[in-house]
Structure 1
Amino acid sequence: MSQPASPYNEELIADEAFLKSWVAGLKSDPYRSYLYSYPHKTSYRELGTKLPLSELWSKEQAETFFLYMHIPFCGARCGFCNLFTLPDKRVSVHEEYVDALERQAVQLAPFVRHKPMARFAVGGGTPTLLEPRLLDRLFEIAEGRMGMNPQNASISVETSPETVTEERLAVLKYRQVDRISMGIQSLVESEVGAIYRPQKPDEVENALEQLKLAQFPIMNLDLIYGLPGQTVDSWLYSLNRVLAYEPEEIFLYPLYTREHTIVKPEQIRKQGKDLRLTMYEAARGSLLANGYKQYSMRRFAKQEAGTDKEFLPYGCQEEGMVGLGCGARSYTRGVHYSSRYGVSRKATESIIADYVAAADYSFADYGFVLDQAEQKRRFILKALLHAEGLALYDFSERFGSSVLDDHPELQMLIRTGLATLESGLLRLTDEGMAYSDAIGDWFISSEVRHLMESYVLR
């Protein structure tokens, strides 16, 4: 697809009135979009022709791959959730799904086993909703079918307070999981009730105690700010309770609502953007004071605990994301693909049923084809929105052009104090990091934005 010429030029970028207006507009809505991947999944469409996975993966240039499994089941849908997940606790449904996942792995493995798996992650949904024997099967598939070696791969699994049991933790420890991630969101009962999350503070504390005793190298905990009825004091109460367990990693998420979520936008608007910014700044200050380092607007971490493993390298700006399961996305440099996406119960049930009934998983027919212009935007965003920043040399090395020539509008970040350029490294300032969601949204191409805005979510 062809991209229009940049609407920015040196004269416009140097115009102080324009810059003042631009940055004011950016800051007026700092939580307009959470761009955790680019292009966004709502830009995916039916591909013109089925693309054989054998061809896609034979051309992939990444030296190592990242294996991701998606388990699209949970105990209940939270009020803020628009992920591809289905509230369904039936063991028979889970077993059928894992059977299909293994069939998919058998078909996909010949195309990707020529390179090692440096990372393996299981997400959802709630993977630990599965019975221990089915949870263990996921690792059998990763190792036996996909060639993942637990001795040199970083392994991460998501869980939830109600599914933390001794039996499940025993499986994860035996399978050499390095990182366990649990969504808590809040330890104030009225706040989790406001987002329709069925959990009690005592249940969370019990799960935290079990995870701490299990001694995974990395325990990651997720919290959400901007919840209905939340105050700065109640937000910091939840954060301080979490800090008492000394997690190696903490993610702070602002509350978003989207189409088909139970919590509605007007409930967030009552909080206001200024209050959410105050909550972010208060939590950031507390985490830095407690020895955490900031890696993005959301991620704060301490030095990782020791491990006997020698992890294979995997570059964050590389592709090679091998997705298994309904709802998993796969990323090659030129094509991103997945199953269809839905949020409503009817849509997710239908999509999962099609996946389980499928006989052929050897092609991609739904996704996004990235031309070089979109590959450049992805490369920029994956670096710029993280603390390590964008190395201008790395961009030139990959694409053979200057990033500031291709995207002169990036200079606007520098001229408004949202970023710095030093020694060939473009990095967001502390203020820029606070507005990184708005910056990411601003940098979306017109083609991708059109697709996102015209997407009809089921």
Structure 2
Amino acid sequence: MKSAYIHIPFCEHICHYCDFNKFFIQSQPVDEYLRSLEKEMVHSMEANGHPELKTIFIGGGTPTSLSAGQLERLLDSIHTVLKPSESLVEFAVEANPDDLSSEKLNVLKAAGVDRLSFGVQTFEDELLKKIGRVHEQKDVFASFERAREAGFENISLDLMFGLPGQTVHHLDASLDTALSLGAEHYSVYSLIVEPKTVFYNLMKKGRLHLPQQEQEAEMYELVMNKMTGAGIHQYEISNFAKKGFESRHNLTYWSNEEYFGFGAGAHGYINGKRTVNAGPVKHYIDLIDKSGCPYKEIHQVTRNEQIEEEMFLGLRKTAGVSKERFFEKYGTPLDDLFADVLRTLEEKGLVFNTEKSVCLTHDGKLLGNEVFQAFLGEL
């Protein structure tokens, strides 16, 4: 079984840190885009024999920037074309706290959506302004309560640390507030300044004042300790959940399994090929009209690339990379391929190499990128 990611590239505003494929929704051909998205799904499912899906994730951009009617149309397309069945274990949608009305929540619930991911980032109103968010703390509380009233029992809150001007005290307060809501899942990411963002331009001008590396490490330690103390277990470098509420869709990525990527700028991984769709909305629509296929890049993943991806994606999970599963997929013992790398990483105290798996140590989580890079190019 495969998963499906569906991209809605529209936003009511553009956050200063965001480098995802997104556009101001005003004056965009939203209804035409939704028609093209349905055509792409039809074309792709027919070309791949209509496989049963394990998870569906609608992301963005901001899916909830669509009107209730547009959301309903999108969800009708998904049911008509993708035909989610009993095999579907998760149907998730990203949501903004400031545009999630009761009407939209009811549309999502009626369509079988069973997981919401709220883009909160921080509960400090002043910090929200600094990073280009337009919601406030009170909007999160109100949306969260409406979601509960609508019957949603699986809600994730996205938070960030390492933000401009953010202190450990700021983060501590945000974490306490987030945990007080009793969400089932928390994603807590360190800010990465990407090209083509407001923050990147500010950084080039010397006007972006970020926490020092040592302070950022202290923040990450705080996140892990707070979550553990609240009984929320860490199952991936940046993700924490109550038992049974891990993101099944994101585990598809970290387990190096295949998934469809639908929509402008979406990435997919089907039949050993990684694909990238055209990003500009008009270009995407034009390609769909011509052929039903919006790919701008197709890359056949080599066996060595698959193995490297298996390692650096799998090591993001606290459970690490299963040696038994690795052997089943590639026919070669993991230890034989990476003996020198594993020995070096063990000596540095960055990985545990047991009989059954390879996983990150506490220090390995703090220096994850160093661990991941060690496997690149080794084959």
- Same fold? TM cut 0.5: yes
Q: Distance in 2 between matches of 1:237 and 1:185?
A: 13
Distance 2:358 2:253 in 1: 18
1:395 has 2:326 as partner: yes
Aligned pairs for 1:148-187 (under 5 A) are 148-149=84-85, 152-187=88-123
- Secondary structure of 2:358's counterpart equals strand
Aligned partner of 2:135 among 174, 177, 199: 199
Cα deviation for residue 269 of structure 1 reads 6.1
Which stretch shows the higher mean deviation, 394-403 or 274-283? 394-403
3-state secondary structure, aligned to 2:359: strand
Q: Which moved more, 1:247-256 or 1:332-341?
A: 332-341
Deviation at 1:117, TM superposition (A): 0.7
Q: Write out per-residue CA displacement over residues 135-157 of structure 1, whole angstroms, 9 at most, x where no aligned residue.
A: 12222222211222267341000
Between the two proteins, the alignment pairs up a number of residues equal to: 368
Distance of aligned partners of 1:429 and 1:268 in 2 relative to their CA distance in 1, 3 Å threshold? farther
1:218 and 1:304 in contact (8 A); partners too: no
2:240 corresponds, among 281, 288, 300, to 300
Aligned residue for 2:98, secondary structure, equals: helix
2: distance between equivalents of 1:315 and 1:84? 19
Distance 2:295 2:29 in 1: 25
Q: Which residue of 1 aligns with 2:197?
A: 261
Shift of 1:260: 1.1
Q: 1:78 and 2:15 equivalent?
A: yes
CA-CA distance at 1:364 after TM superposition:
4.2
Q: Distance in 2 between matches of 1:155 and 1:190?
A: 33
- Which residue number corresponds to residue 221 of structure 2? 281
Distance of aligned partners of 1:278 and 1:83 in 2 relative to their CA distance in 1, 3 Å threshold: same
Alignment of 1:1-400 (within 5 A): 64-90=1-27, 93-149=29-85, 152-264=88-200, 265=203, 270-304=210-244, 317-341=255-279, 351-358=280-287, 359=289, 360-362=291-293, 364-400=295-331
Say if 1:143 and 1:149, in contact at 8 Å, map to a contact too.
Answer: no
Q: Structure 2 counterpart of 1:355, which letter?
A: Y
Q: Secondary structure at the match of 2:40?
A: helix
Residue type at the aligned position of 2:214: D
1:415-436 deviation line (CA, Å, top 9, x unaligned): 1111111222111112212222
8 Å contact kept, 1:334–1:369? yes
Q: Are residues 1:432 and 2:367 paired? A: no
1:214 Cα shift? 2.8
Rounded to whole Å, the distance in 2 between the matches of 1:167 and 1:124 is 20
Separation of aligned partners in 1, 2:48 and 2:152: 29
Q: SS where residue 161 of structure 1 aligns?
A: coil
CA distance, structure 2, for counterparts of residue 424 and residue 114 of structure 1: 35
Bigger radius of gyration? 1
CA offsets, 1:108-151, max 9 Å, x none?
Answer: 22123442111111000011111112112222222211222267
Q: Please report how far the alpha carbon of residue 405 of structure 1 lies from its aligned counterpart in structure 2 after TM superposition.
A: 2.6
Shift in CA distance, 276/316, structure 1 to aligned 2, threshold 3 Å = closer
Give the alignment's TM-score, normalised by structure 1.
0.75
Are residues 172 and 151 of structure 1, via their aligned partners in 2, closer, same or farther at CA, if it must alter by over 3 Å? Answer: farther
TM-score (norm 2): 0.90
Mapped to 2, the partners of 1:93 and 1:303 lie a distance apart of: 41
Amino acid at match of 1:413: L
Helix, strand or coil: the match of 1:331? strand
Distance 1:280-1:246 versus aligned 2 partners, 3 A rule: same
Higher relative contact order (CA 8 A, sep 6+): 1
**CA-based RMSD:** 2.3
Can you list the C-alpha shifts for 1:79-110, whole angstroms capped at 9, x where unaligned?
111111112244x6211110111121222221
The CA distance in 1 between the partners of 2:164 and 2:296, in whole Å, is 40
CA distance in 2, matches of 1:385, 1:151: 26
Partner of 1:30: none
Distance (whole Å) between structure 2 residues aligned to residue 268 and residue 368 of structure 1: 36
Q: Distance in 2 between matches of 1:107 and 1:279?
A: 46
Instruction: Report deviation, 1:333.
Output: 4.7
Residues 1:215 and 1:303: Cα distance change in structure 2 (over 3 Å): farther
Amino acid at match of 1:339: N
- Equivalent positions of 1:402-421 (< 5 A) are 402-407=333-338, 408-421=340-353
Q: Indicate if the aligned counterparts of 2:25 and 2:65 stay in contact, CA closer than 8 A.
A: no
Instruction: Note if contact 1:159-1:180 (Cα within 8 Å) is conserved in structure 2.
Output: yes
Shift in CA distance, 270/137, structure 1 to aligned 2, threshold 3 Å: closer
How much has 1:316 moved relative to structure 2? 5.4
For residues 78 and 343 of structure 2, the distance between their equivalents in structure 1, rounded to whole angstroms, comes to 44
Greater CA drift, 379-388 or 253-262: 379-388
Distance 2:359 2:157 in 1: 26
- Separation in 2, partners of 1:241, 1:422: 38
Distance 1:131 1:395, change over 3 A: same
- The alpha-carbon distance between structure 1 residues 261 and 365, as it changes in their structure 2 partners (threshold 3 A), is closer
Deviation (angstroms), 1:163: 1.3
CA distance in 2, matches of 1:150, 1:81: 35
C-alpha deviations, 1:319-364, integer Å up to 9, x for none? 33111111111102521001245xxxxxxxxx21011123212474
Say if 1:153 and 1:201 are closer, same or farther in 2 by CA, change over 3 A: same
- Counterpart residue identity of residue 179, structure 2: L
Q: How far does residue 223 in structure 1 lie from its aligned partner after superposition?
A: 0.6
Q: Secondary structure at the match of 2:75?
A: helix
Mapped to 1, the partners of 2:225 and 2:90 lie a distance apart of: 29
Q: Secondary structure at the match of 1:163?
A: coil
Q: Secondary structure at the match of 2:54?
A: strand
